[in-house]
Amino acid sequence: MTEKKHRRTHLVTGGFPPGSPAGHDHDHARLKLLGLLAEQDIPASVANDFADIGKWLPVSGLLVTYVAGPYPNAEQSQAIQAWLEAGGHWLALHGTSGGKAERVEGMRQRRTVKTEHHAVLGAFFLTHPPQCRFTVDVREHALTRGVGSSFEVEDEPYFIELQDPTGSTILLTADYGPDVVSPVVGPMYGTDTSLQADGRTRVLGYTRPVGKGAVTYFALGHCHNPASQPGRTADSADPSPRTFRGPWEVDAFMTLLRNVIAQGVAG
Q: CB within 8 A of 75, min separation 6: which ones?
A: none
* Single pTM value for the model: 0.94
Task: Render pLDDT for 197-211 as a digit per residue (tens, 0 to 9).
Answer: 999 999 999 999 999
Task: Render pLDDT for 118-133 as a digit per residue (tens, 0 to 9).
Answer: 999 999 999 999 999 9
| Mean pLDDT score of the chain | 93
Give dist(CA 183, CA 196) in Å, integer.
18
Task: Render pLDDT for 56-70 as a digit per residue (tens, 0 to 9).
Answer: 999 999 999 999 999
Candidates 48, 23, 45, 50; CA nearest to 34 is 45
pLDDT band at 93 (very low <50, low <70, confident <90, very high): very high
Q: Is the peptide bond before 17 cis (omega within 30 degrees of 0)?
A: yes
**Residues 180-189: what's their mean pLDDT?**
92
What per-residue confidence (pLDDT) applies to 3? 44
What per-residue confidence (pLDDT) applies to 139? 98
Give dist(CA 157, CA 141) in Å, integer.
23
What per-residue confidence (pLDDT) applies to 40? 95
Candidates 253, 266, 239, 211; CA nearest to 83 is 211
Give dist(CA 11, CA 15) in Å, integer.
14
What are the structural domain ranges in the chain?
3-266
Domain 3-266 bears CATH identifier 3.40.50.880: yes
Q: Is the dihedral of CA 254, 124, 169, 210 positive or negative?
A: negative
